[in-house]
Amino acid sequence: MRIIITDNYEEMSKKAAAIVRNQIILKPDCVLGLATGDTPIGMYKELIKMHENKEVDFADVTTFNLDEYCKLNRENIQSYYYYMNHNFFKHINVKKENTYIPNGAAKDIDEECRNYERQIKNKGGIDLQVLGIGANGHIGFNEPNINFEAETHLVKLDKMTIEANSRFFSSKDEVPTTAISVGIETIMKSRMLVLLANGEIKADAIYKTVKGKICPEVPASIIQLHPNATMIIEKNAAKLL
Span near ligand PGA by CB under 6 A; candidates 57-65, 73-81, 131-139, 148-156: 131-139
In the complex, the smallest distance separating the C-beta of residue 37 from ligand PGA, rounded to whole angstroms, is 3
Tell me the one-letter amino acid at 186.
Answer: T
Span near ligand PGA by CB under 6 A; candidates 13-21, 132-140, 212-220, 224-232: 132-140
3-state secondary structure the chain: CEEEEECCHHHHHHHHHHHHHHHHHHCCCCEEEECCCCCCHHHHHHHHHHHHCCCCCCCCCEEEECEEECCCCCCCCCCHHHHHHHHCHHHCCCCHHHEECCCCCCCCHHHHHHHHHHHHHHCCCCCEEEECCCCCCCECCECCCCCCCCCCEEEECCHHHHHHHHHHCCCHHHCCCEEEECCHHHHHHCCEEEEEECCHHHHHHHHHHHHCCCCCCCHHHHHHHCCCEEEEEECCCCCCC
**How many residues bind to ligand PGA according to rule CB under 6 A?**
6
In the complex, the smallest distance separating the C-beta of residue 209 from ligand PGA, rounded to whole angstroms, is 12
List the interface residues with ligand PGA, window 201-240 (CB under 6 A). none
Does residue 194 contact residue 19 with C-beta atoms inside 8 Å? yes
Name the catalytic one among 46, 68, 138, 153: 138
**Residue nearer to ligand PGA on the CB measure, 27 or 216:** 216
In the complex, the smallest distance separating the C-beta of residue 39 from ligand PGA, rounded to whole angstroms, is 3
In the complex, the smallest distance separating the C-beta of residue 91 from ligand PGA, rounded to whole angstroms, is 19
In the complex, the smallest distance separating the C-beta of residue 38 from ligand PGA, rounded to whole angstroms, is 4
Binding mask 14-43 toward ligand PGA (x if CB under 6 A, else -) reads -----------------------xxx----
Strands 62-65 and 229-234: unpaired
Instruction: Tell me if residue 138 is catalytic.
Output: yes
Instruction: Tell me if residue 143 is catalytic.
Output: yes
Name the catalytic one among 65, 136, 165, 198: 136
Instruction: Tell me if residue 67 is catalytic.
Output: yes
Tell me: does residue 134 bind ligand PGA (CB under 6 A). Answer: yes
Catalytic residues: 67, 136, 138, 143
Residues that bind ligand PGA (CB under 6 A): 37-39, 132-134
